[in-house]
Amino acid sequence: MSPNPTAELLDNLLTVVGQATGTREEVRVWSMSGVERVTFPDGATAIFKYAKKPFDSEDQALRLAHTLGVPVPQVHASAILDGWLGMIMEDLGPAVREADDLDGVAAAVVLHGTRTAPALPVLDHERLRMLPARALEHLGQLRKAERWQDTDDVEDALDRIDQAAEARSAGATLAPFGWVHSEFHPTSLHIGQQGGWRLLDFARAFTGPGLLDLASWHGTIEPPHPVRLRVFLEQYVTAGGTPDALAPRGGLTAENWALGWHRMWAVEWFMEQSIRWIDDPATDPAYIKAVRRHLTDVLHLLEI
């Protein structure tokens, strides 16, 4: 794993924005990315965000979103060094309150109404349908590495989902289909002093079914709650989102389809992280536990 070159990255970026020095203060840091506030000698501040693969193209997504009129923090400068992306961004200051459901639907309506950008990866019907098969490939690689050994139940669940995937993924390109934020939670929506909002954390944005954003809003820590999501979808339509957000797809209600495929999308991502991005056997028990929990939900929600 490459050492974290943040000091040199920050020096390079400060030169680009015309600052000689700045004082760093951690805001949120984890193994693959971090956010810091940098205070300059004149008292001005900026946000320094850094990340490694697969989060190393967020600057492009943020600039695209900004160009297309989505309210996002402005990227003043960005650079790549030793596989790490660094960005100097506008400091939005403290949030005045946490985003609520009405803030969430307002932001989703704006994002999903934005024209698609060719630069974004695409999750269409074919790629959605392939998620369980891709997860099975990750499982095979993990087992070759003598990891995830006692997971026959995981393999069985993925096999069942894979067999049902063609039918259950139908309707993937029904509207809203376009920008998907993919980390769409209240913590990714900054409500500022003047009542304005900015959408943060575009590291994994793609083109795909907007219902995945709406399904992710209430998080995945608690059990999925289709009735709550139905209300959220109705609020979204009332706020100007497409009425097709309420349309059945894949033989399921919109809310069950969205929650089920969002959990399947998360499972494939967890398993790819395990073998590819994190690749640390010490994290296996936590990942296996999360995957089992989500797969139970997928089987129930997609009625498999």
Residue 141, pLDDT > 80, answer yes
Q: Tens digit of pLDDT for each residue in 37-69?
A: 999 999 999 999 999 888 889 999 999 999 999
What is the pLDDT at residue 31?
78
Q: Tens digit of pLDDT for each residue in 275-300?
A: 988 888 999 999 999 999 999 999 99
Q: What is the CATH number of domain 6-89?
A: 3.30.200.20
**Any idea of the CA torsion for 262, 112, 240, 236, to the nearest 10 degrees?**
20
Residue 27, pLDDT > 50, answer yes
Mean pLDDT over 32-37 rounds to 91
Mean pLDDT over 94-112 rounds to 96
Domain 6-89 matches domain 101-301 at the CATH topology level:
no
Q: List the domain boundaries for the chain.
A: 6-89, 101-301
What is the pLDDT at residue 277?
81
Residue 1, pLDDT > 60, answer no
What is the pLDDT at residue 276?
87
What is the pLDDT at residue 4?
65
Q: Does domain 101-301 have CATH number 3.90.1200.10?
A: yes
Q: What percent of the chain has pLDDT over 90?
A: 83
Measuring CA to CA, which residue among 200, 233, 205, 190 is closest to residue 93?
190
